[in-house]
Amino acid sequence: MDKKNFKPNTSGSPSSTTSKPSNPSSAATTVVSRNVIEPRSVRRMFQNFLVIWVDADFDASKDDYKKSMKHLQHVAATVAVFTDRDESIDFLTDTENEKVSMIVSGVLGQHIIPEIQECPQLTSIYVLCDNQSTHEKWVKAITKVKGVYTQIEPICEALQIDRRNCDQDMISISFNRIDPLFMYTQLLKEALLDIEDDDAKSIKEFSEYCCLQDSASLKTIEMIEREYRNHTPIWWYTGPYFIYSMLNRGLRQMDVDIILKMGFFIRHLHNHITQLHQEQQGSMPTKFQVFRGQGLPVEDFEKIKKTKGGLMSFNNFLSTSRSREISFKRFARPATKNPSSVGILFVMNIDTAICMKSSTPFAEVSKVGYYKDKEEEILFSTHTIFRINRIERIPDEHTDRLWQVNLTLAGNQDDDFNKLTAHLRKEISGKTGWARLGDILIKLGEPAKAEHLYQILLEKASTDKQRSDYNHQLGSVYYKMGEYSKALSYYEKNLEISQKTLPPNHPDLAASCNNIGLVYKDMGEYSKALSSYERSLEIKKIALPPNHPDLAASYNNIGMVYYSMGEYSKALSSYERSLQIQKIALPPNHPDLAFSYCNIGSVYYSMGEYSKALSSYERSLEIQKKALPPNHPDLAASYNNIGSVYYNMGEYSKALSSYEQSLEIRKIALPPNHPDLAASYNNIGNVYYNMGEYSKALSSYERSLEIQKIALPSNHPYLAASYNNIGSVYIKRGEYSKSLSSYERSLEIQKKALPPNHPYLAASYNNIGSVYYNMGEYSKALSSYERSLEIKKIALPPNHPDLTTSYNSIGAVYDNMGEYSKALSSYERSVEIKKIALPPNHPDLAASYNNIGSVYYNMGEYSKALSSYERSLEIKKIALPPNDPDLAASYSNIGNVYYNMGEYSKALSSYERSLEIKKIALPPNHPGLAASYNNIGSVYYNMGEYSKALTYYEKAQEIWKKSLPPTHPHIALVKRNIEDVKKKM
């Protein structure tokens, strides 16, 4: 009997349109008191370290424990108390950004310490018990145990030292070149220094903010509010309070909430240092040395060694001492007790002449600091740059991890960095105080914080100019937050005011038209967007010089509309014109250049020229790494785009790696329910979907939907996209009713959220058609596909590539209905459009030739089918990597032809080539591998080699049982094949 070969779905068969990776774009039991945090709920933000106390007998109502807690509250802003061993371990291992000191009872300590002593975040352990001698025996070999105590007071004294050492070690340092964070914190500081606000109000707001965090002593907060003006800023900064830790943590992590709330203190502290610097200039020697001891992670010390002769910068206020002994004994040597750290003694050579050039004031604060005369402290303001001169080991009989690093104070000699800083400073010039600060917040990717600021400023605005400016900025903020109707409203208010107060060709009018175009573009109203952009460009050509950066922005935006309309050659031309201007007008590492390279990459991506797209995206990322803070959302977008290229090249492991890098940044940079996080989970789901790991794909898509339901309105288009993707998984799993339900939910949302002829509605009708197609209900499928095509013809240009999807899907229905001439006609119309819209070797053309081959195959015209399949393969070999799964599909289809022509050896060769590729490109239990095993089994069956046939059928059965639902037709198919072959044996 002739075996029916399993023919895997090819590109010719409609499949659900899974939303592509975000289109490359431009743009436990605890005892709780005020100071005892409830694990996993309260933000710990005031100190760089926290204390964990583990004691099964802890009872907050007992006097001993109350007394101990009172002592600890003077040392640590955050104390987590646990009576359960496992919960304390979970909490410790979940702690990522702080260093931890642990107090543990003797009995519990014997069981818990061996499990947690290797945790890198755990720096010290103190055993608190009733029997000191018993427990001193077993702790001797554990380096992190600093002692066994019977009273809390000496532990608190030791914790004071731990805290200071930790704060000293956690200061932000950049190596080799000046970090972008240095630049942005500098600009932020300049804006804060420029603000003249009500200090009493700022201090009250700061106190209220600290109280809300539930992780600082109420007594300390009340003391700061009550006595702030009784002491100098330096006294507060150097005192044993949370101010030092909180401020340096905010500056190190670029935590804008902290920086804004402490803006008044940054200003007071800097001004105090500046005042003392001026007073002390006459008595200071021209050249002198200061010292700083601290611990550095081993990997950071390796960076220092590699960049000897290079620059290192400190973004924080920098505490140093004239005393080598204090710096060495109190800070450098103790750091070696942490096995993952190196003890560093920085010897800093200061030349006051260079200090004048670097604009970094410093002052001796021993007479005004909290610890008067004890530490001989010299305090530098933020943004100090040093050159690394000499690095040498400090001989010590106890450790080989003590090093001296000699530094010399330097001015900023990085020309590219200086140009970029100057240019960004120029971009925000003309604005002062809070308005300037709002601009920087937008550049830092913090639109929600800028929104709050600008709303306050708009309420206080007294002139048309101010009202116009703040409406414009609020439009920009809402645009970045994806709230397009609000953005449009504010931009239109801005334009309305500007038209009344400005001449007809004023550049500000061009900016208003441009921004309105930006919103229309993202709303899918491309003709309105193009009209607004072109009006903006007209004004700019009259009002501005030919190479002004604002002209580049217009060409870029026009390119974005053409890109969205599928007119890629026009888009590319506009983007390249924009880049040309930017190269003349902007510093080489300006973020806008990164946007241009990104946009050019997007065109190449859509044209299927993936190597060019990858090159452009990597150039964009290279600039962003130099120009932006390390966890800026734009970096996440670049990793996302690079992932999209790898995704389309079939390099799924690389795609997954890039998408996960993007997700990691977004987790740090964005709130936990930000829509961009949902986009990342969506893209990761897409990779798993294409790897055939449908349960993982479904999990990622559902995580994405979960976030969107919290972050977005119930009828937002992004929710529709998630329902669409979930439907795509169900269709692959053969769960058609669930798939149909998801697709219909998607369509329902789109009908409410979008214009009636928006392209997204067309995609939903296409997906619903796919379900009916797979259920064999071809008339319903055809109706859905034709509705999709109808919308696309209205919404898109006549040769837009998305039209080919509809013609392809309609062709597939006719093919399965046996109406081959109609199928051929639809497929040929698809080819016609692709030849106009796409490069000659675009993978989508290969898909069309494949589909035409499928018609001929079904008509029994095997020579014509073979010709079309081979033409498809020819293009794929040029356009795709050698182990792309689409190449495997082509070899499989060619094998099908040979199989049906009875040329079994040629069929076997093609099927085996297909299998080879799949083994490299796909996970071991991908359904596509099972298809290949089934096909090879069928060849051996027809060649009479039944034992080999059985072996391959059983491999296919094993994979399909793991990867598909038990009712899937493929499982029934292979079961029949096994039964047939056994009969022959």
101 DSSP β-pair partners: 51, 124
- The residue length of the chain stands at 985
- Contacts of 148-151 with CB under 8 Å at 24 or more apart are 148/106
Which whole-number Å values give the CA distances from 43 to 100, 211, 578, 706, in the listed order?
A: 15, 12, 44, 23
Contact between 515 and 525 under an 8 Å Cβ cutoff? The reply is no
Low-confidence ranges of the chain (pLDDT < 70): 1-48, 73, 77, 96-97, 166-188, 197-198, 214-216, 254, 355-359, 373-375, 411-433, 444-445
CA 827, CA 809: separation in Å to the nearest integer? Answer: 9
Which residue carries 């356009």 as its tokens? 879
* Dihedral angle sign, alpha carbons of residues 743, 746, 751, 752: positive
pLDDT of residue 424: 53
CA 745, CA 761: separation in Å to the nearest integer? Answer: 12
Which residue carries 């014109």 as its tokens? 577
Phi, psi for 29 (deg, rounded to 5): -85, 125
Q: At what angle do helices 180-193 and 610-627 cross, to 10 degrees?
A: 50
- Contacts of 579-585 with CB under 8 Å at 24 or more apart are 579/552, 580/552, 581/547, 581/548, 581/549, 581/551, 581/552, 581/555, 582/549, 582/552, 584/547, 585/547, 585/548, 585/549, 585/552
Q: Considering the entire predicted model, what is its pTM?
A: 0.53
Residue whose C-alpha is closest to residue 251's, from 185, 195, 297, 205: 185
Q: Who contacts 816 (Cβ-Cβ below 8 Å, separation ≥6)?
A: 773, 776, 778
In 3-state terms, what secondary structure has residue 755?
coil
Amino acid 412 reads: N
Residue 608, sorted as left (phi over 0), alpha (psi -120 to 50) or beta, turns out to be left
CA 428, CA 430: separation in Å to the nearest integer? Answer: 6
Lookup: tokens for 572: 């590319």
Q: Who contacts 137 (Cβ-Cβ below 8 Å, separation ≥6)?
A: none
pLDDT of residue 15: 28
Lookup: tokens for 283: 């008595």
What structural domains and CATH numbers belong to the chain?
Answer: 49-169 (3.40.50.2300), 173-178+186-413 (3.90.176.10)
CA 51, CA 42: separation in Å to the nearest integer? Answer: 14
314 DSSP β-pair partners: 173, 384
CA 550, CA 528: separation in Å to the nearest integer? Answer: 20
CA 811, CA 824: separation in Å to the nearest integer? Answer: 7
312 DSSP β-pair partners: 175, 386
* Dihedral angle sign, alpha carbons of residues 64, 66, 68, 71: negative
Q: Who contacts 333 (Cβ-Cβ below 8 Å, separation ≥6)?
A: 293, 343, 396, 402
Burial of 603 (0-12, 13-18, 19+ CB in 10 A): buried
Contact between 524 and 758 under an 8 Å Cβ cutoff? The reply is yes
CA 840, CA 609: separation in Å to the nearest integer? Answer: 11
Q: Who contacts 890 (Cβ-Cβ below 8 Å, separation ≥6)?
A: 846, 850, 869, 872, 873, 876, 914
CA 72, CA 48: separation in Å to the nearest integer? Answer: 16
Phi, psi for 102 (deg, rounded to 5): -120, 135
- Contacts of 127-132 with CB under 8 Å at 24 or more apart are 127/103, 128/55, 128/103, 128/104, 128/152, 128/155, 129/105, 130/106, 131/106
Contact between 834 and 807 under an 8 Å Cβ cutoff? The reply is no
Which whole-number Å values give the CA distances from 712 to 129, 172, 197, 707, 717, in the listed order?
A: 53, 36, 35, 8, 9
CA 548, CA 540: separation in Å to the nearest integer? Answer: 9
Which residue carries 């169900």 as its tokens? 730
